[in-house]
Amino acid sequence: MDRNKVFAYLDEHFQQYLADVQQFLRTPSVSYTGEGIRETAGQVADMIRTLGGTAELVETPGHPVVYGEIDSGAKDTLLIYGMYDVMPADEPGWIVDPWGAEIRDFLDLGPCVIARGAVNTKGPLSAFFGTLDAIQKAEGRLPVNLIFAIEGEEEFGSRNFPAFAEQYKEKLKQAQAMFFPFFYCDQEGTPTVTLGTKGLCYFELTARGGDWGGPTTRGIHGSYAAWVANPNWRLINALASMKNEHEEILVDGFYADVIPPNADDLQILQDLEAFRDDSLFLQLQEVKRFKFDAQGVELYKHLYFDPTLNINGYASGFTEEGTKTLLPHQATAKVDIRMVPGMEPEATVAKVKAHLAKHGYHDIEMKMHNLYPWSKVSVQEPVVQALLTGYTELGRRPMVVPLNPGSAPYYVFQRTLGMPYIAGGLGHGSRQHSSNEYCTVEGIRDFQKSVVAFFGNYVQLQARGRG
C-alpha cells in the first residue's frame, strides 16, 4: 500500500468525507428511545455494501447488530467493532441543535463538529468508512479483509452483543484481532492507547413500603411521618452504610479480589506522569478538585485501579416546584459499580446483596441492568504495536494507559472470541454524554491517516510473524 498516495487522495477529498460525517450525525440514533435506530443501522449496512462488501442487520431482542464482510483477498482479517447508537441529547446547555452537526469554532480548538455522537462514536465510524473509500479509490483494494460488527446498544451496556458474538462466533473468529475506530487524542493532539477496560455492574436499588413499614401503594400525607417510616430514609441509610465520607466502600470484601497494579502497570503509570497535565481534565470537565489529595502515579492508581460505586440518579416523591408534604411509598437509586481486574461480576453482586442483608435491608430490591467483566490486553500484541508504530510514524508520541476507567464489552473479544483487541485513531473530541459533544475538523483528517498507517503496519507485522 502506497500510503502517500492514499494520504493525497484523502486530502483531496476531505470536504466530502467531512460532509459525510456531518450527514451521518444528523440522523438521531438514540438507543434509549429507539429514535432513528433502524434507519441508522440501515445506513451503516449501506456503507459496507457501497465498499463492495456484504451486510445484514442481525436481529436481537433489542436493536440490531450490523454484521458485514469485505473480502479483499488479503491474507489478514481484522474485526471492526463499532456502535451506531448514541446517548439522548436532552441535557440543558447545548449551543446548537445536537442533531444539526454544525461546524463552529469551539473552546479555542478551531472548527469543530458539535453534535451528539460527534466523538462517541458516530463521528469516528463515518470517518473510518471514508478512509476505506479512499484506500480503495487510491489503491484498488484494502490491504486486509474486514469483518464488521457494529452494534446499536452500546449505551445500554451492550446487553445483546455477547449473545450475538456467541451466535456469530465462527464467522467472527475468522479475524485475528479486533479494532475499534475512535478519536483518541486529547486537546493537545496526544493519542491514547488503552490496554483494557473496567467491568460494569449497573443496577437499581428500590426501597418501597412493605412488611417493614412505610406506605405500600401510594404516598401519604407528610405529617404521618410521626407514625410511619419513610422509604427514603431506608434507602439513604442503606446507601450511606455502603460508602463513608472518606470515599471508602464499606461492602464486606468489596476490595478482596482486586489485583493491584503489577510492575508493568506501574511503569506505564510512571510514563504517564511525563504526559499528563491533569489540570486540563479538571478544566474540561469543570471540576475544581479531585476527590483524593494525590498526584502523579498515586492519582492514576485511583483512576485506573480503583473500583467505583457511583449513584447515577435518585428519584423519590415530590420533586417539582413547591412544598407538597408527602411521605413517599418508594425511592429508587440508579447505581453502578466499575470493576477492576480481579473483581468478577457475580461475586461483586453477591457481596452487595450480602451487605444489604447483613444490615437488615432484605426488603430493598436490586434490579440488575448490566453486568459484564473487565478485560486487559498485552502491549506486545501486533494489533497494539501496529497502532503505536503508526502514531510514531505520524509524529505523535502515544500515551499508553493500562485501563479505561469507563466500560466497554471488550471481554467479549477476549473471553468469547479469544482475540486481542485495540481501540484507536488520531483525532480529538470530548464532552461525550454531556451537552456540546464535539470533535475537531482537523482531527478527522488526522484520524483517517492514522487508520491508513495502522492497516499498513498491521499487515507488515503479521507478514513478519509468518516469517
Footprint of a second copy on 76-105 (CB under 8 A): 87-88, 91-93
Q: Which of 214, 261, 373, 429 binds a second copy (CB under 8 A)?
A: 214
CB of 435 to a second copy, least distance (A): 6
CB of 60 to a second copy, least distance (A): 16
- 167 alpha carbon, distance to own chain's centre: 23
CB of 241 to a second copy, least distance (A): 8
CB of 42 to a second copy, least distance (A): 23
3-state secondary structure labels for all residues of 395-451: CCCCEEECCEEEECCCHHHHHHCCCCEEEECCCEEECCCCCCCEEEHHHHHHHHHHH
Q: Are 10 and 394 in contact (CB under 8 A)?
A: no
Strand order in the sheet with 111-114: 102-105, 111-114, 438-440, 429-430
Report the distance separating Cα 232 and Cα 246, nearest Å.
Answer: 23
Report the distance separating Cα 320 and Cα 160, nearest Å.
Answer: 36
CB of 62 to a second copy, least distance (A): 11
Cell of 140: 484498488
CB of 179 to a second copy, least distance (A): 22
288 counts as binding a second copy under rule CB under 8 A = yes
Residue 311 CA: distances (Å) to CA of 200, 243, 314, 318, 421: 13, 11, 7, 19, 30
209 counts as binding a second copy under rule CB under 8 A = yes
What single-letter DSSP state applies at residue 101?
A: -
221 counts as binding a second copy under rule CB under 8 A = yes
Cell of 167: 451466535
265 counts as binding a second copy under rule CB under 8 A = no
Report the distance separating Cα 381 and Cα 264, nearest Å.
Answer: 15
Q: Which of 19, 256, 311, 350 binds a second copy (CB under 8 A)?
A: 311
> Looking at beta carbons only, is 12 or 277 nearer to a second copy?
277
Q: Which of 136, 206, 407, 440 binds a second copy (CB under 8 A)?
A: 407
CB of 86 to a second copy, least distance (A): 11
Total number of residues shown for the chain: 467
CB of 265 to a second copy, least distance (A): 15
406 counts as binding a second copy under rule CB under 8 A = yes
Could you tell me which of 121, 128, 124 has the C-alpha nearest to residue 146? Answer: 128
Report the distance separating Cα 81 and Cα 414, nearest Å.
Answer: 13
321 counts as binding a second copy under rule CB under 8 A = yes
> Looking at beta carbons only, is 114 or 327 nearer to a second copy?
327
Q: Are 67 and 142 in contact (CB under 8 A)?
A: no
Go through 19-32 and write b for each residue having 16 or more CB atoms within 10 A of its CB, e for each that does not: ebbbebbebbbbbe
- Beta-sheet pairing, 421-424 with 375-376: unpaired
Q: Of 42-81, which residues contact a second copy (CB under 8 A)?
A: none
> Looking at beta carbons only, is 323 or 380 nearer to a second copy?
323
332 three-state secondary structure: strand
Considering only the stretches 41-49, 217-225, 251-259, 379-387, report the one whose residues sit in contact with a second copy under the rule CB under 8 A. 217-225
CB of 191 to a second copy, least distance (A): 19
Report the distance separating Cα 352 and Cα 322, nearest Å.
Answer: 36
CB of 66 to a second copy, least distance (A): 21
How many residues interact with a second copy (rule CB under 8 A)?
Answer: 97
Q: Which of 69, 306, 365, 442 binds a second copy (CB under 8 A)?
A: 306
> Looking at beta carbons only, is 189 or 210 nearer to a second copy?
210
Looking at this protein, which amino acid is placed at residue 394? L
312 counts as binding a second copy under rule CB under 8 A = yes
Q: Of 222-251, which residues contact a second copy (CB under 8 A)?
A: 222-230, 232-233, 236-237, 239-240, 243-245, 247
Report the distance separating Cα 73 and Cα 48, nearest Å.
Answer: 16
218 counts as binding a second copy under rule CB under 8 A = yes
Q: Of 428-447, which residues contact a second copy (CB under 8 A)?
A: 432-435
Q: Which of 69, 102, 290, 460 binds a second copy (CB under 8 A)?
A: 290
CB of 233 to a second copy, least distance (A): 6
Looking at this protein, which amino acid is placed at residue 351? K
370 counts as binding a second copy under rule CB under 8 A = yes
Q: Are 57 and 64 in contact (CB under 8 A)?
A: yes
Q: Which of 42, 189, 213, 342 binds a second copy (CB under 8 A)?
A: 213
367 counts as binding a second copy under rule CB under 8 A = no
CB of 175 to a second copy, least distance (A): 27
* Contact characters 151-180, a second copy, x per CB under 8 A: ----xxx-----------------------
219 counts as binding a second copy under rule CB under 8 A = yes
376 counts as binding a second copy under rule CB under 8 A = no
Report the distance separating Cα 284 and Cα 279, nearest Å.
Answer: 9
255 counts as binding a second copy under rule CB under 8 A = no
Q: 407 burial class (0-12, 13-18, 19+ CB within 10 angstroms)? A: buried
